[in-house]
Amino acid sequence: MIAVKGLEGQKVMILGLGRSGLSAARALRAGGAEALCWDDNAQARERAEAEGFACVDPLSRDGFEGVARLIVSPGIPHLYPTPNRVVAAAWRAGVPVDNDIGLFFQSFGGSDWDGFDTMPRVVAVTGSNGKSTTSALIHHILDQAGREAQLAGNIGRGVLDIDPPGDGGVVVLELSSYQTDLARSLTPDVAVFTNLSPDHLDRHGGMGGYFAAKRRLFAEGGPDRCVIGVDEDEGRYLANQLAEAAGDDRVISVSVEEKLTGPGWHVFSRKGFLSEYRKGRQVASIDLRGMPGLPGAHNHQNACSAFAACRALGLGPREIEKGFQSFAGLPHRSQLVGERGGVRFVNDSKATNVDAAAKALQAFDKIRWICGGLEKDGGLGGLLPYLGTVSKAYVIGREAANFAMQLGGIEVEVCGDMASAVALAAAEAEAGDVVLLAPAAASFDQYDSFEKRGEHFMAEVAKLL
């Protein structure tokens, strides 16, 4: 556990008692603060009380009396579409609002580091798509190279639940826009921006607010090295803002769409080959085509980002390549579930938006595509250029008919539920086909999470295999 520093003897209110909320309460108590907890869910409050925490309604009279800070869980809106009532009350009371990420960076480090030969470092990864795979890949590479590494944040453990790092230890954090938007302290040593596509727009008041939340990690965090995906205008803008000159190697540019060979530090992938260029000269190359855990161009982008971050940490290209070779991938992200009669079944339930689904469709040929769910803002127009690999679409979800109407130019069958879609796709598939779950939509119309949706797909495939 990372005990929270700087709030000793003070009262701190915790709003939201899920994984991050309870973790923050424990870390605050370990650091000598008094954690006051609240959640609208009575069972969540009971769990907190069972651990000895006092539950106090912050909206009660004098609820914020003597409170030094309000810690808000990431699922609770603090500004858009409307501020949570407790957050608004904290503003009126003059109580600073923060989250567990802010507490982590505020508390990371201590006098025990004085005896270390190499200071522990933090790598923070954000972006719209690929940040989970990129974070897990960085952690895996470090682990395979014999480096002490921990994975936390939006993946793995809560940031305050990790162990204090040892000499030369590295903490790899996946950070969502919900987390970067509110944290009062953001000071990673290496920060990674994978890419940007429309997502969570209601939560951030539009695309500008969404990008601004991501940008805080770099503009306010002051990392020593920045790894920036430059295949969108926002990434190019960010790289330009962070670099002092064209040859500033504190910024490592990453691309899967173009060759980057100018002055500075670049990592890019073309036709399945990763290349590293520094000062206009190639210094490393890796063939990604045979990496089983990294199929498709979108995973090659993840590989480039992870490669750049690990190079910034001092690892050599061959060490990184070994990590690529042994990386098995993450569940629900281009996950090969099984094969029958030359037909492969792939679970990419994490493809919850149009951009992620488009990348999945580009990773395979001859696709039997299972899609649909709770449609996000912007419609499905961004998918239309990538439907050439789709033999047929099998649409699920409560609004399957409306979803199907937007998929012009391909054969579509409205199935409604996962079991029907998997059974029909498998029955119609031929050798060489891929039955791909890449929903291009959120899961919440039929499932509690994308993980539950992916697990249902895998269970239906298991019946066939």
pLDDT reading at 239 higher than 80: yes
Cα of first residue to Cα of last residue in the chain, in angstroms, is: 43
pLDDT grade, residue 258 (50/70/90)?
very high
**pLDDT reported for residue 329:** 83
Q: For 80-84, 154-158, 272-276, 319-323, which range has the lowest pLDDT when averaged over its residues?
A: 154-158
The C-alpha atoms of residue 390 and residue 425 are separated, in whole angstroms, by 12
Which residue positions form the known binding site for ATP?
Answer: 127-133
- List beta partners, residue 150: 171
Q: What Å distances lie between residue 385 and 346, 354, 361, CA to CA?
A: 21, 11, 10
CA 138 – CA 121 distance, rounded (Å): 13
Q: Are 163 and 150 in contact (CB under 8 A)?
A: yes
Q: Identify the band that residue 112 occupies on the pLDDT scale cut at 50, 70 and 90.
A: confident
Q: Is 122 helix (H, G, I), strand (E, B) or coil?
A: strand
Query: Residues 209, 210, 212, 217: is their CA dihedral positive or negative?
Result: positive
Determine the Cα–Cα distance for residues 359 and 346; give it in Å rounded to an integer.
Answer: 14
Place 359 in a pLDDT band, splitting at 50, 70 and 90: confident
> Quick check: 83 and 77 in contact, CB under 8 A?
yes
Nearest to 60 by CA among 13, 7, 9: 13
**Under 8 Å between Cβ of 296 and 329:** no
pLDDT for 111 equals 81
Domains of the chain: 11-98 (3.40.50.720), 108-326 (3.40.1190.10), 335-464 (3.90.190.20)
Establish how many alpha carbons lie within 13 A of residue 442's alpha carbon, considering only the half-sphere containing its beta carbon: 10
DSSP line for 327-393: ----TTSSEEEEEETTEEEEE-TT--SHHHHHHHHHS-SSEEEEE-SBPPTT-SGGGGGGGGGEEEE
pLDDT per position as a tens digit, 166-224: 999 999 999 999 999 999 999 999 999 999 988 888 899 999 999 999 999 999 888 99
What pLDDT shows up at residue 408? 86
Q: What is the mean pLDDT of residues 69-77?
A: 95
Mean pLDDT over the full length of the chain:
94
Per DSSP, the residues of 179-208 read HHHH-S----SEEEE----S-SHHHHTSHH
**194 near 229, Cβ under 8 Å?**
yes
Q: How far apart are CA 442 and CA 423, in angstroms?
A: 22
The whole model's pTM is what?
A: 0.85
372 within 8 A of 439, measured Cβ to Cβ: yes
Amino acid at 217: L
Annotated binding site: 127-133
Q: How far is it, in rounded angstroms, from Cα 70 to Cα 16?
A: 11
DSSP state of 167: T
Q: Is the pLDDT of residue 281 over 80?
A: yes
Whole-number pLDDT of residue 282 = 96
Instruction: State the pLDDT at residue 420.
Output: 97
pLDDT tens for 126-152 read 999 899 999 999 999 999 999 999 999
pLDDT value of position 417: 96
pLDDT of residue 379: 82
| pLDDT reported for residue 293 | 86
Closest CA to 104 of 168, 45, 179: 179
Is residue 336's pLDDT more than 90?
Answer: no
Residue 224 burial by Cβ neighbours in a 10 Å radius (0-12, 13-18, 19+): exposed
